[in-house]
Amino acid sequence: LGEPLPAGAPLDPLVSLFLRREQRQQRRERDSGLAQRLRRFLRRKFFLFRRSALMTLIALRNLALGRPAPERLAQEVAFASWRGEEEEEARPESHGGAPRGPEL
């Protein structure tokens, strides 16, 4: 990771796809305007704060009431970790609008 491959070593197709996607993402972030950078920054911070708050509430509830079934706990952690990537990749970058939450 982070080191160039030796000369003549073939790239794995999955690795090359990942590298192209990462380069495209970095180029898009570098070429974006101030408004989009600010929006992306605020979106990241919102989901970080959201996950922190939900995980704290889950932990406090577990301390007070005991741990729920592992399936329910896994669902709650998945909900807390949700970042809206499904809609983010489905819609173009120029399209506005607030992301919807997951259906429960």
3-state secondary structure 7-39: CCCCCCHHHHHHHHHHHHHHHHHHHCCHHHHHH
pLDDT band (50, 70, 90) for residue 96: very low
Q: What is the pLDDT of residues 31-55, one digit of tens each?
A: 888 898 899 899 999 999 999 999 9
Q: What is the pLDDT of residues 56-78, one digit of tens each?
A: 999 999 999 999 999 999 999 99
The C-alpha atoms of residue 42 and residue 37 are separated, in whole angstroms, by: 9
3-state helix, strand, coil in the chain (%, to 5): 65, 0, 35
The encoded tokens of residue 80 equal: 């807390």
Q: Are 58 and 80 in contact (CB under 8 A)?
A: yes
User: What pLDDT is attached to residue 51?
Assistant: 96
pLDDT band (50, 70, 90) for residue 14: confident
